[in-house]
Structure formats: C-alpha cells, structure tokens
Structure 1
Amino acid sequence: MRRRLLDIIHRFYLDAISRLPPAEFRRTTGLARGLHVGGHCFGPLHPVHNIVVNSIWYAAAFPVRRPAGSDDEDEANALLSTDGIARICHRSLDGLVAALRDLCPSLSNGDALWRLFSTSADLTAAVALANGVSKSINYLSKVLVPSSPHEPSVSPLMLSAQVLDCIASQKQQFKGIGNQVVNVVNMALQQYTQRSGEQLKLHSVCGASLLMEEGLENCYHINFLAYHEGSGSAVGAPVLFFTEAIILSCYETDIRLCVPVDPVTDIGCCFACESNRKMVVHPCYDEYLGGLEFQEDEVDYGSDFPSPLDVDYIFFDADRDSAFANYLWRDSTDH
C-alpha cells in the first residue's frame, strides 16, 4: 500500500512539474530548490496544487544565501534530481500520514495509510473519510479561519417589523421562482436523457433569465450543470447545459431547446439576456428566442448594481448587513 501511494504521489509531482515554467528550473536558487526541499504535496488544496504553492512559497521565503567568495553560476540544466524527487515523495507521504493522524488521533498508522490510499493521497478527502463528512468543509474552515478566543462581542442588529416582513416576503418570492426554475430544468433534463440515452442527474442551476422582451412572456433561458451517473455515483466533471423553456401554465411547460454548451467555445448571445444583465452561456449552433443580432451600445455592461439583488435577501446577515437593513428601512418609510 505504501509503494502504491508513493506511485500516486510521484504522478502528482510529474503533473506539478509540467505546470511550472521550465526556465525557473534552470535557476539553482529558483523553483527547483523549492520543489526538492519544500514542495510537499500536503496542505488544504489538491496535492498537485499544494506542490506548486509549497514550491513557490519555499523558494520565496527561504532564498539561497551563497557562501562568501563563491563563484557558482546561478544556472543549471533541465535535469531535475531523480533522487531528490524520490526523497520529497517519501517525505510527503510521511507528512501526509503524520498530518492525518494528528487531525484524526484515533487512527493507527495502517488506518491512515488505508484512508490516504482510498482517497488518492488527498489529505482533505482522507480527513473527510475518517470523520464521515464531505470533502472536507470542516477542515478547510478551521484552517482558513482559526477560532479566536477573544472575539469582540457584536451588538445584535435591531430590525423593524417592516424590514423583517420585507426580507421574509422577498425570500418567499425567490423560493417560489427557484422551485419553478428547478422544475423546468428537471423536465428539460428528463427530455434530454430520453432523447440521448445518457444517464444524467442535476448538479445545480447556475444561470436563469426570464426574458422581458415583447412577445416573450414566461420564456426562460437557463444554464444548469448535470453529471453522468455510473453505478449510482457521479462520473467525470459536470456538463454545462442551456435550455429554453416557455411556461404555458402551472402544469404545462414547453421545452424548446436543451443542449450541452461549452463556456469556452460557445459564444452565442441573446439581446434579451444581455438586457437583463444575466450571464447565461448560449449555444452558437442552435436557434433560440431573444434576438441574436444587436449593437453592443444597446445594452448596459456596467459592473455597478445599485439595487438589492436576491442574494442580499437570501443571505442576509443581521450581524453584518446593517447598511442593507438601513436601506430597506428607508425604503419602507418612503412609501
């Protein structure tokens, strides 16, 4: 098991090396030293990303100070030390085991090796496996925001009845719209799977625009992510979809289009969505409503959002959103 883990970790180093600029490896005081000495694969990120970050950090934090009178050239060839890479692989594995046993004291050395092997040497995933939680939100939260024993107390924000009613009403409204959109997406995905034969499950809805142009009532353009299912679990990266749907009634929806889209290559655009300032990826190879041709000066591409958004209500924090609460209070008194 240890040998197979070392093989996995070695592949991480080869991947990380391929991502780093080769010219930096020709400087003996640069990334080559950072990689060999401090570029361990453990940390809060994916192992490959940990190697890259740790190598860059070590090279920057501990630069080489040459002995007085040394005339060594600060250049090396493209050959990295094979033994040095093997050593950092072993050190990384030892560090992974030590870190996992420190975070999960009940594990034996063998238990730690098994969990690391089961999660392809990913420390955060191994901690999650040991604790029976998902990868690993609790661990990352503690690493990124350590608890402070002397946090100052915050006076609770006193909210008027009008503000509370406004927030509750908007939350309910957005919940209703959300349920409607998810129902539309599930119908679209069901039709797509029946047509394609692929087994797909909804991951999340990541963009929805209700078209406001004349003659386009109750027409939605929606982006959602769905993943393939194999033996009851997710397989591969989620696929991004675009769907156009017209809600005819509470019980009937016309799914006009549902196709996979690539956010890099698909550059289709829609005047109605642009006017709504909705970032929805449209296909460039299918027809859809909303207007495909328009002048850029006909829409507002500004980054300023002066009016409250749905997230301001949904994620309202009474401890930190006093400015938003004051805005709502002023707005309620003006009417």
Structure 2
Amino acid sequence: MAGRRRRGGSDGGGYGDGAGSGAGPNLSDGSREGMARNRRVILGLMYGYYEEALDALPLELMPALATRLLDAGVCFGFADPVTNIIANTLRFVADEPGDPARGERPEFDGARKGKKSEVLSKIVAGDVPSPPEARTVAERSLEGLITFLTSYYRYLPTWDALRYLRLSMADLLVAVRLIEVDRCLRRKDRFHIHSHAAKTALKCAALSARLPDVDSAFLIGLAAPLSHLTRTLPAQNSGRRRCRCRLSIQDVTRLSRLLQKPLDLKNLNNPMNHAAMRCRQYDMKVQPTLMPSIRGILLDRIHAVYLRAISRIPMEDFRSRYHHGLLKAGYCYGPFNPMFNIIINTVWYDTMFPAPESYELDMICTQIFIRIESQSLDGLTDMLVARVSGLSEHDAMVYLLKSNLDLTQAIQMAGQNGYDTRSWDVTAYKAAAHASSHPELEAYLWFAMELLPTVQSAVMELLTHTLSSSHILHLSELLSSSRSYPYNSLQPTDELTQDALEMVSSYKSNFFSQQNFVRKKVEATLQNYDQTKGLYELRFICTVNECVGKKSFRDLKYPYSHVNFWVSAKDGTNLTLFFAQVSNDDEDKLHDQSFCLPVSSLLTNARCCYCDFEGTRILHPIESYCGGAIDFKKMALGRHTIHNEQIISHGKLIACQGGILGEDYIYFDPARDSKFIQALNKAAWAAKLNWGDEIRRIKGSEKKRKLKESDEVKGKSIRQMEACT
C-alpha cells in the first residue's frame, strides 16, 4: 500500500508530494488521459485513508467490521476522509445481543482472520476502472464525491470536479471550500450543510456510491457527532502519515449508537470551520477558475440584477413601453451600478428609438432576455479590459466576481494589485458597445460621453427614490436633452417580401397566443395558491421554459413549463417574485402537478436539470418540482435522459448565442433592421422553396457552366492553332 501511495504522489497527488501545491501535470487537463491521471492520484490518496481507518478499527475483536467497511465505508461526509470512513462503517453496526459485528462472517475469510492486508486487497482497484457493479469501496467513494460536487454546483464538469478533489486530497468539505474561494462566493451564497441543496447532493452521492439502505437523514447526521468522533479518534502526525488511536469495542458501540441519533442543527458546530482548518494544513495554490464556469456564475448574478431592474420600473410603464428598450439596449454597463445602468440605458434607448409599433406585453421573450444578459456580460468584461491596461479577459471576469459586477470597485481592485487603470474615455465605452452588439453604437457613445456626464448627479438623485411613472417621465426628459446626438431619420433600405411579411404576421400571432396561454395557466395556479386570502395579482411574466419533464427522446411533447413572474398586492405595491410549474396540456389533465410558490432569494441554489439544460436561469423554490431532487437522483444512478455534461454544454450554447434570433420579429423596425430583413427574406424563400425544382435548377446551372467552360477551352485551342499557322 505504501507503494501505491508513492506512485500516486509521483503524479503530484500523494502525501505531501504536490497534492496541495498543484505541482506536477496540469490539473485542469480535461482530456481522457488527464482525467484518468487525476482519478489514479485521488484513489492513491484514498488507499492511505483506508489503511488509517483499518488501523483504528478493532478488526480482530469485531471481524465483521471489515465487511461493513467494504459495503458502506465511503470516505465522503462532513468530517475528514478517515473519520468519514469510520463513521459510515459504524453507522451500520448494531449493538444488540448476537450482533453479527461481534462474530464472524463466513463469507469473508479476511475479516475472520483479522488480516488488514486482505481487506486492503479488496479496496485497491486496478488501473482500468471497474464496471459499476464491481467497483471497490474506494471507487464508489470517488463516484460519490464527484456526484456530490456536480449535483450541488452549476457549471462544474466532471473533470473540473476531479481537479478540486485532487487539490483537496479527496476531502469533500475542503473541495467545497476551494470552490467557494475560487468562485468568489459571498457569505450568503456559501455552502450550508442543512440546506435542501446539500441534502439532495448527499443523497445523490450516496446513490451513485451504491450505499446499502441509503438514507440522507443518516448521512446528514454525520455532522452531528463530529466533535465526539474527533475526540475519540485523535490523530497525530507521524512522518508522512497520521496515526489514530485504536477504537475499543466500547468505543464502537457508543459511536454506533450516537450515529443513529437525529441531527440537532441548532446546536451543530459548522463543519466548514474544521474544513478551513484542514485547508491550512496544505499550501494550496488553486489554479484559476475555468472561464466557462466564471461566465455562468456571472450570468446568474446579472440575471438577478435584471429581475431587480424590472421590478424597479413601474409595471404599467414596463408592460406598455419599456420592455422594448430593455431587450434592445438595456445593458448593465455604464458609470453607475449595474441595476441603475440597466434602467438608464433602457429609458434612453426607448426614448430616442421608440418601437415602430407599440403594444402591451404580459410576458417578456425569454430567448431575447437570455441574449441581452449575455451581451451585457460581454460589454462589461470588455469595458473593464479597456479600462485596465494588460488585464486578461479571465482576470477581468474574476474582478467582476469579486466586486459583484461593480465596475468601479473592480477597477480599484485591479489598481491595488498593480495594474495601470486608465480614466474613463471613449475607448472603454466603444469596446463595451462593440462587444455587446449595441444597435446604435455611435449614438450611444455620444450619450455616454457627452450627455450623461452633464445630468449624472440629477439622474443619480432620481434613481435613489422609489420610481413612479412621473419619475420615469422625468428621467426620460433628462436623458433626451437638447444636447443629445443629432439623430437622422432613416428610411428602409430593404423591404420584406410578401412571404416574409406573412411569416412575421404568423410569428407574432403565435407569440401572443403563447403569451395568453402561459398567462392563463399562471393566473390559475396563483388563484389556487391565493384562493383563501386573495392578496396577490399577476404583474409580469419574466422567464418561461416550456421544455420541462420529457421522459425520453421519443416523447413529442414536454408536459410542463417552468415560469418566473412578478406579483404584487392588490394595491400594486410590494412586488414578489414567484415560481410556477404549469401544465402544457390545453385540457390541464396534469393540473394536480401545477403549482406556484414565492421564491425566497434571487440567487437561490435550488437546481432544475431541465432549466439548467435550457439556460433559462429560472429561480426555483426548495420544494419538490419536476427537474429537481428526484431527477438529480435519477442522474446519479445513470437513469435519466440527460447527464451533467449535457446540461453544461447545452446551457452554455444557449447562454452564449448572439446575432439575429427568430424572436426579433417582436421588435422589428423596418428602418433599422436591414440585417433582419435580409435574414427573414432568405428564411421565407427557403421555407417556400420546392427543393426538387431547386435541385434541378442547380443541376441545370452546373451543366450550363460545364458547357460554357468546354466551349471556352475549344475556342482557346482553335485560336492557338490559328496563331501557329
């Protein structure tokens, strides 16, 4: 076994041989070879932990403990890995007369003989990963650790989870602590063992590790006797290994009983404090967070800012007018905080470039909403890179995380770290507008550099109040001063074909039909929730995911939609964000599964595999819903139609989309959207095209081209012959 640990350490992951420092190969290597290498290193560490645990257990007096360990002695829990192994083993040990743990198990000779080497031989895995049904307890422990991290955290692929587990030396809560530091999580967003998300992740870990008699209540209870276990199992450093006191039969019986008691969360010492102490035992130089993960976290925060900005604008004004300005150019970058920037940019754009056709909406277009959030992040990042000389895109995102999207604070942080920070100039605004594909770049530069500084104090004073319709009108007047950009009235340069016009009309009709359907469903669930009190009134639907709950790829329709929407008291005050799960069936046959609940936080960590997959960032309550805990448990068992890697890749694809969307027809402006006209004309032509005729036309054109080339070659040959004669 010592050889096993040394071989793991040579890769940069053994006891003191680089596991904590990140020495050796690139831990961020996501290749198949890199993942296999990290798995080997982590398993090598685990073999040492199991050797320590076996040294502490009285196998010669209670030989069946070995069988219990091989069945259930996984190394994940809320203590250090060795303590977790012992605790998970003892949790399955009975203390009644005739307890099999006190006797011998004839099916396991190694336990009867009390030979630790034979037990270890059944823990050590080969170089080739075993199939699920034949995995050793160490391999199952690793699967549980990976599943816990990927179930709890968004945007964490398996190979990145392996990186954190290797850096943390396979210590679950140390890995959690590293992720918290790496992702710059604020105190209120940090890991809590009593949270619904933590319990779900533990249950998923237990399922993937194929534990017998899986019960999350017992697993969560591992934190309760932590102080008792650490007092009973003191560890002393002895060279490269830590020696633990040997348990007696009385210790095993007492700890087994203690592990059966329910957890008292009120009197629980935070295990993360112990994890922080274990972190300090290693010189952990965590490699930079991967950009896709940072981007996902930033988009989560930007989405929360947009929801707050929508709630600050009077709903009557937003529904009738400013939904247009927000989705066209309501970016979160500028001289103020992100929420104020969204409101200012929204009101300015809608004032100067009003929609050609005004109509009242009850529901925002989700796909355009996703795009404006992504474009906002691109603009915010490029603005920071332009302001700070020598700053990389990755580091810019890290500063935005640390400053919680506050650009001024991010610039100050960079300056304190030795970067050259420039003053505000047109270069920064131009970089942001270009990166975000601003529809009126030159006009925005004039607004940001010439007009806004002259009214900045008045605008700031106005935004500090609760905004009313009169405040918004005053803001619009301030942002459309006579010193504004000399806008030119435009005439359409292209026209929609008749087929394209019919397509736009059909699209609009479909959108309003969908809006009416969703509104009806949401109002029904809200009425059912509020039927005895009558307190709430639907104000606006923010985000919709219609693709929830499909059980297999053969299904043609998703049964549910998930929705976020704002409601208010009957007098129009006290906006509250709600979540609803509604049936997609017209006849509402699944009405018993439709419900709505308020969302407790704009940054809740309750996950939904379907909404994560679609990149919609819908905020969910902690109560049960389709796509929640039950679905993640199926994923842990490999019985779901999607898995974690698919969720990350598809969600990233949706969140990073740019350019023209089909939904842009909602805000189509013939004078300004020439690219959209060209794209729609082409799409309408392709939709109506008879492909058989087109193929014959292409073949005919190709035949004519070849004949023409042949004639040209013949003509050239004749001219050459005539020249020779």
**Alpha-carbon displacement from aligned partner over 1:231-279 (angstroms, at most 9, x marks no partner):** xx2232x111111121433476615221111234522222222222222
Aligned-partner Cα distance in 2 for 1:189–1:162: 40
Relative to structure 1, is the Cα distance of residues 146 and 331 closer, same or farther in structure 2, using a 3 angstrom cutoff?
same
**Which residue identity does 1:44 align to in structure 2?**
V
SS class of match (1:194) = coil
Retained in 2: the 8 A contact 1:245–1:257?
A: yes
Aligned-partner Cα distance in 2 for 1:314–1:325: 13
Shift of 1:124: 7.5
Aligned-partner Cα distance in 2 for 1:298–1:247: 24
TM-score by length of 2: 0.27
**Alpha-carbon displacement from aligned partner over 1:210-241 (angstroms, at most 9, x marks no partner):** 12523663311111111123xxx2232x1111
Aligned-partner Cα distance in 2 for 1:234–1:256: 25
Shift of 1:135: 2.7
Pairing 1:225–2:566 present: yes
SS class of match (2:573) = strand
SS class of match (1:206) = strand
Partner of 1:115: none
Partner of 2:617: 279
Pairing 1:334–2:686 present: yes
Looking at secondary structure, tell me which structure has more strand per residue: 1
SS class of match (2:566) = strand
Partner of 1:319: 671
| Of 515, 518, 526, the match for 1:189 | 526
**Alpha-carbon displacement from aligned partner over 1:265-301 (angstroms, at most 9, x marks no partner):** 5222222222222221112232334734555421222
Relative to structure 1, is the Cα distance of residues 258 and 167 closer, same or farther in structure 2, using a 3 angstrom cutoff?
same
Shift of 1:141: 2.1
**Which residue identity does 1:155 align to in structure 2?**
Q
Pairing 1:234–2:582 present: no
**Which residue identity does 1:269 align to in structure 2?**
R
Retained in 1: the 8 A contact 2:603–2:619?
A: no
Query: Which residues of 2 match residues 37-76 of structure 1 at below 5 A?
Result: 43-47=458-462, 49=464
Partner of 1:270: 608
SS class of match (1:162) = helix
Relative to structure 1, is the Cα distance of residues 48 and 176 closer, same or farther in structure 2, using a 3 angstrom cutoff?
closer
**Which residue identity does 2:529 align to in structure 1?**
Y
Aligned-partner Cα distance in 2 for 1:124–1:211: 35
Partner of 2:645: 297
Aligned-partner Cα distance in 1 for 2:590–2:461: 42
Partner of 2:107: none
**Which residue identity does 1:141 align to in structure 2?**
S
Looking at secondary structure, tell me which structure has more helix per residue: 2
Shift of 1:305: 2.0
Aligned-partner Cα distance in 1 for 2:619–2:485: 46
Partner of 1:145: 480
Aligned-partner Cα distance in 2 for 1:207–1:123: 24
Shift of 1:315: 0.9
Aligned-partner Cα distance in 2 for 1:159–1:153: 20
SS class of match (2:583) = strand
Rg larger for:
2
Structure 1: runs of 5 or more not aligned: 1-20, 22-39, 50-121, 126-133
Retained in 2: the 8 A contact 1:171–1:313?
A: yes
**Which residue identity does 1:288 align to in structure 2?**
C
Relative to structure 1, is the Cα distance of residues 252 and 135 closer, same or farther in structure 2, using a 3 angstrom cutoff?
farther
**Alpha-carbon displacement from aligned partner over 1:311-335 (angstroms, at most 9, x marks no partner):** 4111111121111111111222233
**Which residue identity does 2:559 align to in structure 1?**
N
Aligned-partner Cα distance in 2 for 1:311–1:333: 18
Query: Which residues of 2 match residues 113-262 of structure 1 at below 5 A?
Result: 134-146=469-481, 151-157=487-493, 158-195=495-532, 197-211=533-547, 213=550, 214=552, 217-229=558-570, 233-236=571-574, 238-250=575-587, 254=591, 256-262=594-600
Relative to structure 1, is the Cα distance of residues 253 and 305 closer, same or farther in structure 2, using a 3 angstrom cutoff?
same
SS class of match (1:141) = helix
**Which residue identity does 1:228 align to in structure 2?**
A
Percent identity (aligned): 23
Query: Greater CA deviation, 264-273 or 316-325?
Result: 264-273
SS class of match (1:179) = helix
SS class of match (1:43) = helix
**Alpha-carbon displacement from aligned partner over 1:168-216 (angstroms, at most 9, x marks no partner):** 1111101100000000111011011115x25111111111111252366
Partner of 2:230: none
Aligned-partner Cα distance in 2 for 1:298–1:188: 31
Relative to structure 1, is the Cα distance of residues 277 and 41 closer, same or farther in structure 2, using a 3 angstrom cutoff?
closer
Query: Which residues of 2 match residues 86-97 of structure 1 at below 5 A?
Result: none
**Alpha-carbon displacement from aligned partner over 1:134-173 (angstroms, at most 9, x marks no partner):** 2333332232133569543322242211221111111110
Number of residues of Structure 1 aligned to a counterpart in Structure 2: 214
Retained in 2: the 8 A contact 1:243–1:259?
A: yes
Relative to structure 1, is the Cα distance of residues 288 and 319 closer, same or farther in structure 2, using a 3 angstrom cutoff?
same
Aligned-partner Cα distance in 2 for 1:149–1:271: 46
SS class of match (2:459) = coil
SS class of match (2:605) = coil
Aligned-partner Cα distance in 1 for 2:463–2:684: 52
Aligned-partner Cα distance in 2 for 1:265–1:257: 21
Aligned-partner Cα distance in 1 for 2:544–2:581: 10
**Which residue identity does 1:313 align to in structure 2?**
Y
Aligned-partner Cα distance in 1 for 2:492–2:661: 23
